[in-house]
Amino acid sequence: MPKEVLSKTFSLCPHCLRVLPAEIYVDDDGVVKIGRKCPEHGFISEVYTFSDPELYKWALKYEHEGKGIDNPRTETIRGCPFDCGICPNHKSHTVLAIIDVTNRCNLRCPVCFAYAEAMGYVYEPSIEQIREMLRNLRANRPVPPPAIQFSGGEPTVRDDLPEIVKLAKEEGFRHVEVDTNGIRLAKDINYYKKLLDAGMSTVYLQFDGFREDIYIATRGVPLLDIKMKVIENARKLGHESIVLVVTLVKGVNDDELGKIIDFALKNSDVIRCVNVQPISFAGRATELERSRLRINTSDFMKLVEEQTNGLITRWDFRPVPSVVPVSRAVGLLKDKKYVEFTTSPFCGVATFLIKNKGGMWKPITRLVDVDEFFNSMEEAASEAEKGHKTRALIKALGGLRHVKWGLLKDLIIPILKTGSYEALGKFMRRVVMIGCMHFMDVWNFDLKRMERCVIHYALPDGTIRPFCSYNSIHRVEVEKKFSIPYEEWVKSRGKQEVYTGVQS
């Protein structure tokens, strides 16, 4: 029996995908879990994405209700999560959009079974299909997504990726990211430059640690030299926006977080962010596999505190929706629509590290009373919604007393004054963000959380689907409709070259 019920929600049976009433509860060992009972498969329980009860209750304070889009693409028929498209029930709009441009890859990662050869088909949308997906995303109302991420597979196996990046800029995306394992960017600096010339903003670089045994365990080959070469090439090209993307696995690389953060700070001329993604489990992962490898957001927060010797504590992080009052207040004051990060507070956390004039790094929480600042902005938004613009402006300006003068003058005031992408970019170039985004799988699936997802895939069938429902439920079905058999691809175009770790 649960020791304490924290919330009621709905979840899935991981075996038959039946939607079931569920409880998020604290068990006798003090661990937060999500449990449900399937009439066919019995009681199923899994560790929740926040396993620490204290941190779970703390995160809940930063919850903010969102608004969906005015023009959903599908109707509510079967119910969540089977009407994804986005349906009228979805409670957040798209903040970051994703398009998978291929399922081909130049690696054969042991932790991945979704590459073309293993799946038996090649999914690779044409330029025209990608154009339509981009336009579909930009048609979202009342606010289209400003950022697009090209993913896969490995996007850089496409020679026409620079053309795709340029297309995204032409269709109105201000920020264009490319997910990559880094192999081609390391080995072909001219291809890297073509992506930059086309308008690529950020390289989203897979980066799991500093020991080759980590890469051999997760990726099948040694890759550390490749990662270092990408950093070197970025510096040569003057590219200042690399995100280190860490797939976090218990017992594999959970002792590397402090080293990765330290590396990011020492290379902050090109590295903007460390984004940690705890491993999620596709398919029928056994309970033993999950208990051995499962790690979550509250684990991450404690590990960072321990491995940075308190430079960053667990309390320096804030859940993603904590920033909603800022975008809401600025938007209302300027009569503009900005994207709002109204995701569940249990989706992810982040903090910013800022370097002072003495070269020392400090979390933003040491320079700003962030909670009081957010409260002031929430009060400003409330006044603006009532039509009291002058009162709203006074409330917003009053919030600035919670910010230390140097940071206020250089970074915060320009953002509040202009609300521009350029001002936000200047802020991001002065900081390093440390974040964690814990994507769900069928074992820890929380439908209330999924309804508020802000990271959405655009697809050739005209749908726009939330990240966790697409990857857990819909991916194979959708991809197969727009794919060709792998052997047919090989006959017409040749087999994909696979990186072996041997330097040429």
Query: Which segments within 94-154 are labelled E, that is strand?
Result: 96-100, 121-123, 147-151
Between the CA atoms of 277, 278, 282 and 285, what dihedral angle is there, to the nearest 10 degrees?
A: 170
How far is the C-alpha of 262 from the C-alpha of 413, rounded, in Å?
A: 29
If we measure between CA atoms, which residue out of 479, 452, 448, 445 comes closest to residue 466? 452
How does pLDDT run across 253-283, given as a tens digit for each residue? 999 999 999 999 999 999 999 999 999 987 6
How far is the C-alpha of 343 from the C-alpha of 345, rounded, in Å?
A: 6
Tell me how far CA of residue 135 lies from CA of 75, 97, 139, 151, 281, in angstroms.
20, 12, 6, 18, 32
Beta-carbon contacts of 41 under 8 Å, excluding residues fewer than 6 positions away, are 13, 15, 16
How does pLDDT run across 376-385, given as a tens digit for each residue? 999 999 999 9
Name the least confident of 159-168, 282-291, 379-388, 410-419. 410-419
CB 445 within 8 A of CB 87: no
Beta-carbon contacts of 363 under 8 Å, excluding residues fewer than 6 positions away, are 311, 312, 313, 316, 351, 352, 353, 354
Confidence tier at 397 by pLDDT (50, 70, 90): confident
How far is the C-alpha of 137 from the C-alpha of 350, rounded, in Å?
A: 26
Token code pair at residue 53: 């009860």
Of the chain, the end-to-end C-alpha distance in Å amounts to 59
At residue 504, the pLDDT reads: 45
Mean pLDDT of the chain: 93
CB 436 within 8 A of CB 55: no
Omega before 2 cis (within 30°)?
A: no
Token code pair at residue 350: 């982040």
Confidence tier at 152 by pLDDT (50, 70, 90): very high
Q: Is the pLDDT of residue 112 over 90?
A: no
Which of 303-312, 360-369, 429-438 shows the highest mean pLDDT? 303-312
Kindly report the CA angle at 167 between 164 and 170, in degrees rounded to 5?
160
How would DSSP label each residue in 40-85? TTEEEEEE-SS--HHHHHHHHTT-------SS-SS--SS-TTTT-S
Q: Is the pLDDT of residue 503 over 60?
A: no
Q: Are strands 121-123 and 483-485 parallel, antiparallel or unpaired?
A: antiparallel
How does pLDDT run across 303-335, given as a tens digit for each residue? 999 999 999 999 999 999 999 999 999 899 889
At residue 356, the pLDDT reads: 80
Q: Is the pLDDT of residue 417 over 70?
A: no
CB 232 within 8 A of CB 182: no
Residue with tokens 């970025």: 234
Q: Is the pLDDT of residue 289 over 90?
A: no
Token code pair at residue 108: 């054969």
| One-letter amino acid for residue 159 of the chain | D
**Inter-helix orientation angle 389-398/324-334, to 10°:** 140
Which of 67-81, 257-271, 345-359 shows the highest mean pLDDT? 257-271
Strand, coil or helix: what is 345? coil
Token code pair at residue 298: 């509250």
Name the least confident of 2-16, 282-296, 451-465. 282-296
Strand, coil or helix: what is 130? helix
Give alpha helix (H) positions in 139-223. 161-170, 183-187, 189-198, 212-218
Q: Quick one: 94 exposed, middle or buried, by C-beta within 10 A (0-12, 13-18, 19+)?
A: buried
Omega before 86 cis (within 30°)?
A: yes
Q: Is the pLDDT of residue 425 over 70?
A: no
If you average pLDDT over residues 195-211, what whole number do you get? 98
DSSP state of 18: -
Give all domains of the chain, ordered by start, each with its CATH number. Answer: 96-368+403-450 (3.20.20.70)
If we measure between CA atoms, which residue out of 246, 257, 427 comes closest to residue 353? 427
Q: Quick one: 497 exposed, middle or buried, by C-beta within 10 A (0-12, 13-18, 19+)?
A: exposed
How would DSSP label each residue in 491-504? HHH-PPP---S---
Look up the pTM and report it: 0.95
Token code pair at residue 381: 């938004």
CB 2 within 8 A of CB 23: yes
At residue 115, the pLDDT reads: 77
If you average pLDDT over residues 409-438, what whole number do you get? 75
Give alpha helix (H) positions in 238-317. 257-266, 287-293, 297-307
Token code pair at residue 314: 């667990």
Torsion sign (Cα): 353, 354, 358, 359: positive
CB 233 within 8 A of CB 189: yes
How does pLDDT run across 455-487, given as a tens digit for each residue? 999 999 999 999 999 999 999 999 999 999 999
Omega before 142 cis (within 30°)?
A: yes
Omega before 153 cis (within 30°)?
A: yes
Q: Is the pLDDT of residue 114 over 60?
A: yes
What's the chain's length in residues? 504
Strand, coil or helix: what is 290? helix
Q: Are strands 361-363 and 348-355 parallel, antiparallel or unpaired?
A: antiparallel
If we measure between CA atoms, which residue out of 409, 402, 393, 399 comes closest to residue 335? 393
